[in-house]
């Protein structure tokens, strides 16, 4: 048994086989005696990959819709592309090299070609050819590709990018364990949204030989056990059952008001990234959606999502929530959420760079597509718009001007929408806190993004695991920022909530109640535990 310790970021216990997600790596070059046999190996791996992609396409279409499944059609076409196949087989034949190296070398050449093109769409194909080639190399290995046996597994990796987590099938994941990451990384946020145990910051990359071994992830204690002995395994099965029983007891809070013993009421909403998260929202009795992270619609797409595809997603959420509030954050791309087809330049410090509202205001053609979709969907439910990364009243004025332009366009098209739709902002920078009194007079609500507010207030990169001891969200500086934003909102007569991960921190529930916060929006799995804490106050 091997024991790894890190930081628990999502409570619970997962027990199951390990699925190792390895980072892209260059294949080792070997000389082969029989190029013909090596070409046969390549063709066999090619067919296995085609079959896998066909299954992934079928599953994705059923789960997320036809538009999301088109990615796998693109990958299958690449696998059969004559130039690509000729490049691999020609290299094997001429240089007498192993198939893994030939695939890797061909992929690098094609990726460089795509990346050098002027079109952002074609530049994004560089990532596709790399992805297809990694699949081929995996299938050229001695073992089956991770996760292809249909068994749900514990995902282990050095770290997970938002684009990776966005395309994961929740039914195939039991828990997460990563060697890097932070409590506010997107791996952690995804785990909490899905209600799955997760440990980050283990300090050791997963070993390839761990693939398929039984593991235990204790998200409460920040502990991962690889290949546990029978006594340990049985002990954790008991703990797992007890945790599930505790979760079941919380179900008794469904339908009960989120109100303190003295009658102070707080709206308790949920954070989501896609319509499929609504099952968890409904199962945990959230009173609304306090944060719809719309950028996941972009992360899951191979090109800019159309107005119609976005409209259908927003409409589905609005209708299923049945008149309950649905707050949609406009796209927050940039920083650690990179999307190839946006064609963003590399930045030395992307957290302080071109992201969120800055992209929307300088690329209004992208912003308007999303706004049209949101406004059209507002005719089917109680939708509000939330603008991220606001630092000045000028940005709010510019965004509202674009919203007004889009409204006029929709009137001209004869489209129905909510004319009095509420527009709020994320308070997640020190500038927005300092300017809160002025900002509050221009918007309908504040929602405090504590993840970024902590990062910017304490000057600690939220993705840097080495800063965990310094990036303290309980810092008096951060709490004072929150209190200032709440007071400014109330003085202007608007409501103020929290949609960052700190909203689920029950050690601070009493503090937030004292501040007079009107709303808390948390991961679906945290709704009932937070309701319990509020009702106990």
Q: Are residues 216 and 291 in the same domain?
A: no
In the chain, what percentage of residues exceed pLDDT 90?
64
Chain segment 123-143, per-residue pLDDT in tens: 667 778 888 888 888 788 633
- Where b means 16+ CB within 10 Å and e means fewer, 106-140 reads bbeebbeebeeeeeeeebbbbbbbbbbbbbbbbbb
Q: Are residues 353 and 428 in the same domain?
A: yes
Can you give the residue range of the structural domain that contains 228? Answer: 2-22+158-248
CB 224 within 8 A of CB 217: yes
Q: Which residue's structure tokens are 């107005």?
A: 307
Q: Is 204 exposed, middle or buried (0-12, 13-18, 19+ CB in 10 A)?
A: exposed
In a domain, 145, yes or no: no
Chain segment 151-188, per-residue pLDDT in tens: 899 999 988 765 566 567 778 899 999 998 777 666 77
Largest Cα–Cα separation, the chain: 81
In a domain, 170, yes or no: yes
Q: Is the pLDDT of residue 147 over 60?
A: no
Q: Are residues 516 and 477 in the same domain?
A: yes
Q: Is 242 exposed, middle or buried (0-12, 13-18, 19+ CB in 10 A)?
A: exposed
- CA dist list (Å): 188 to 50, 176, 195: 32, 9, 10
Please identify, among 105, 140, 175, the residue that sits at the C-terminal boundary of a domain.
140
CB 154 within 8 A of CB 330: no
137 Cβ contact partners less than 8 Å away, ≥ 6 residues apart: 27, 100, 103, 104
Q: Are residues 42 and 17 in the same domain?
A: no
In a domain, 153, yes or no: no
Average pLDDT on 46-75 reads 78
Q: Are residues 470 and 324 in the same domain?
A: yes
Q: Are residues 426 and 523 in the same domain?
A: yes
- φ and ψ of 164, to 5 deg: -75, -50
Q: Are residues 84 and 221 in the same domain?
A: no
Pairing of strands 519-522, 495-498: parallel
In a domain, 268, yes or no: yes
Determine the Cα–Cα distance for residues 467 and 63; give it in Å rounded to an integer.
38
Chain segment 306-351, per-residue pLDDT in tens: 999 999 999 999 999 999 999 999 999 876 666 778 887 878 788 8
Please identify, among 248, 277, 292, the residue that sits at the C-terminal boundary of a domain.
248
Q: What residues pair up with 15 in beta bridges, in sequence order?
A: 216
Give the model's pLDDT for residue 39.
Answer: 95
Residues 360, 460, 496, 499: which is the catalytic one?
Answer: 499
Q: Which sign does the torsion angle of CA 489, 494, 495, 499 carry?
A: negative
Q: How far is CA 452 from the centre of its chain?
A: 15
Q: Are residues 285 and 408 in the same domain?
A: yes
In a domain, 413, yes or no: yes
CATH assignment at residue 107? 1.10.274.10
Q: Is the pLDDT of residue 508 over 90?
A: yes
Q: Are residues 99 and 167 in the same domain?
A: no
Q: Are residues 353 and 238 in the same domain?
A: no
Q: Which residue's structure tokens are 């235990």?
A: 216
CATH assignment at residue 503? 3.20.20.60
Which of 45-59, 67-81, 516-530 is least confident? Answer: 67-81
Give how many domains the chain has, as a whole number: 3
In a domain, 186, yes or no: yes
Determine the Cα–Cα distance for residues 81 and 503; give it in Å rounded to an integer.
49
- φ and ψ of 246, to 5 deg: -65, -45
499 given a catalytic annotation: yes
In a domain, 150, yes or no: no
- φ and ψ of 101, to 5 deg: -65, -40
57 Cβ contact partners less than 8 Å away, ≥ 6 residues apart: 69, 72, 73, 76
pLDDT band per the 50, 70, 90 thresholds, residue 522: very high
262 Cβ contact partners less than 8 Å away, ≥ 6 residues apart: 537
Which of 15-24, 451-460, 515-524 is least confident? Answer: 15-24
Residues 186, 267, 360, 496: which is the catalytic one?
Answer: 186
Determine the Cα–Cα distance for residues 260 and 252; give it in Å rounded to an integer.
17
- φ and ψ of 347, to 5 deg: -125, 140
Closest CA to 425 of 385, 455, 453: 385
490 given a catalytic annotation: no
pTM of the model: 0.69
CATH assignment at residue 187? 3.50.30.10
pLDDT band per the 50, 70, 90 thresholds, residue 148: very low
Q: Are residues 310 and 452 in the same domain?
A: yes
In a domain, 387, yes or no: yes
Q: Are residues 395 and 518 in the same domain?
A: yes
Give the model's pLDDT for residue 143.
Answer: 35
Please identify, among 189, 224, 248, the residue that sits at the C-terminal boundary of a domain.
248
């Amino acid at each position: 048994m091997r024991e790894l310790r890190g930081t628990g970021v999502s409570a619970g216990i997962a027990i199951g086989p390990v699925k190792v997600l390895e980072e892209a790596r260059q294949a080792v070059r070997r000389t082969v005696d029989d190029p013909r046999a090596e070409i046969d190996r390549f063709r066999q791996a090619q067919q296995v990959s085609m079959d896998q992609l066909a299954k992934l396409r079928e599953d994705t279409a059923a789960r997320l819709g036809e538009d999301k499944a088109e990615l796998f059609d693109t990958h299958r076409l690449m696998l059969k592309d004559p130039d690509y196949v000729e490049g691999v087989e020609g290299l094997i034949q001429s240089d007498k090299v192993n198939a893994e190296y030939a695939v890797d070398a061909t992929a690098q050449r094609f990726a460089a070609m795509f990346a050098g093109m002027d079109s952002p769409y074609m530049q994004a194909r560089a990532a596709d050819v790399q992805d297809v080639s990694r699949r081929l190399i995996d299938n050229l290995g001695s073992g089956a590709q991770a996760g292809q046996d249909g068994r749900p597994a514990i995902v282990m990796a050095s770290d997970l990018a938002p684009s990776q987590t966005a395309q994961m099938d929740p039914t195939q994941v039991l828990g997460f364990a990563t060697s890097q990451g932070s409590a506010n990384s997107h791996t952690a946020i995804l785990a909490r949204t899905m209600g799955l145990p997760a440990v980050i910051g283990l300090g050791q990359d997963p070993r390839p030989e761990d693939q398929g071994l039984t593991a235990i992830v204790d998200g409460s204690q920040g502990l991962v056990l690889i290949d546990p002995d029978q006594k340990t395994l049985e002990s954790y099965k008991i703990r797992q059952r007890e945790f599930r029983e505790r979760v079941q007891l919380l179900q008794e809070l469904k339908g009960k008001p989120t109100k303190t013993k003295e009658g102070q009421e707080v709206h308790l909403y949920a954070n989501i990234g896609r319509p499929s998260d609504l099952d968890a929202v409904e199962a945990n009795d959230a009173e609304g959606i306090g944060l719809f992270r719309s950028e996941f619609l972009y992360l899951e797409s191979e090109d800019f999502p159309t107005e119609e595809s976005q409209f259908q997603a927003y409409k589905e959420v609005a209708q299923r929530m049945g008149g309950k509030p649905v707050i949609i954050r406009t796209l927050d791309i940039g920083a650690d959420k990179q999307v190839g087809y946006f064609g963003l330049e590399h930045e030395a410090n992307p957290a302080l760079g071109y992201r969120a509202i800055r992209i929307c205001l300088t690329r209004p053609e992208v912003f308007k597509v999303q706004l049209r979709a949101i406004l059209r969907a507002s005719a089917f439910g109680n939708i509000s718009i939330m603008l991220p990364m606001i630092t000045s009243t000028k940005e709010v004025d510019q965004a509202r001007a674009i919203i007004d332009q889009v409204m006029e366009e929709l009137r001209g098209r004869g489209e129905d929408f909510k004319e009095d739709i509420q527009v709020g902002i994320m308070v997640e920078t020190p500038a927005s806190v300092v300017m809160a009194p002025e900002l509050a007079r221009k918007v309908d609500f504040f929602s405090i993004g504590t993840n970024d507010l902590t990062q910017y207030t304490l000057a600690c990169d939220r993705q840097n695991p080495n800063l965990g001891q310094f990036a303290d969200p309980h810092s008096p500086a951060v709490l004072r920022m929150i209190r200032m934003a709440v007071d400014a909102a109330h003085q202007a007569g608007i409501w103020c909530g929290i949609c960052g991960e700190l909203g689920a921190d029950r050690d601070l529930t009493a503090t937030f109640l004292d501040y007079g916060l009107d709303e808390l929006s948390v991961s679906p799995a945290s709704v009932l535990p937070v309701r319990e804490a509020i009702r106990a106050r």
